[in-house]
Amino acid sequence: MICGIDEAGRGPVIGPLVVAGFMMDSEEALKGMGVKDSKRLSPDKREVLFEEIINLGEYVFARVTAEEIDHLRSKESLNDIEASLFAKVIEELCPEGTTVYVDAADVDEDNFSRKIRSHLNRPIEIVSKHRADDMFPIVSAASILAKVDRDRRVRKISEDLNHDLGSGYPSDKKTIDFLERWVKEHGRLPKYTRMSWKTSQNILSRTKNKTLDDF
């Protein structure tokens, strides 16, 4: 068996961090499907591949909400949070003897694999590489699952707040405009926002004295 693990939502200011694990007997079926790093695929293509991938093997998701991320970051780094989530997926999905390929979150690839192992109760072979989602189809598959799952949850958040909040990333002007308008109208950031993010703190600071006519 071979298992791949990747995440989506490490950097956004809104929404969850999602880690996906995918396991199958062989990567051969994936190689002809055009799987690659989810960021290099269109949303429509990711959705199509998602449905195809989940029929080829077993999969597991581990998710942490924005509120949980804020709480955890008061005690540990984002890399530590990711390592524990990767380990949770391994424990649930990957039997002993499986080779697990992971997209390294740490600058030090080996250090990231050590962090994951520190949370495991059994020996597992872990191959930790930067850009593993480009190198290994099994990780590409996990990347697609994680990205689609997160995108669906962000759309659900948009529906819940009755606003199009964009992708939730700080680089998305639609997201920033939404947050600034929300703070001006409500005097606070909306739920689902990562309050500990510098982006959130900056928005609160710079919108404090603005009027709605400024937007």
pLDDT at 37 exceeding the cut of 90: no
Of 139, 157, 175, at which residue does a domain stop? 157
Q: Angle CA(139)–CA(142)–CA(146) in degrees, nearest 5? A: 140
Strands of 17-24's sheet, edge to edge? Answer: 58-64, 17-24, 2-8, 99-103, 125-129
Residue count of the chain, please give it. 215
Residues 176 and 116 in one domain: no
d(CA 47, CA 68): 27
CATH number for the domain that contains residue 177: 1.10.10.460
Domains: count for the chain: 2
Judge whether 67 lies within some domain: yes
Which residues form the domain of 199?
Answer: 160-208
pLDDT digits (tens, 9 = 90+) for 108-162: 999 999 999 999 988 899 999 999 999 999 999 999 999 999 999 999 999 999 9
pLDDT digits (tens, 9 = 90+) for 98-111: 999 999 999 999 99
Give the list of residues 6+ apart from residue 11 with CB closer than 8 angstroms, or none: 169, 170
Confidence of residue 213 (pLDDT cuts 50, 70, 90): very low
pLDDT digits (tens, 9 = 90+) for 42-55: 899 999 999 999 99
Judge whether 213 lies within some domain: no
Residues 93 and 164 in one domain: no
Residue 158 or 205, more confident? 158
Residues 69 and 148 in one domain: yes
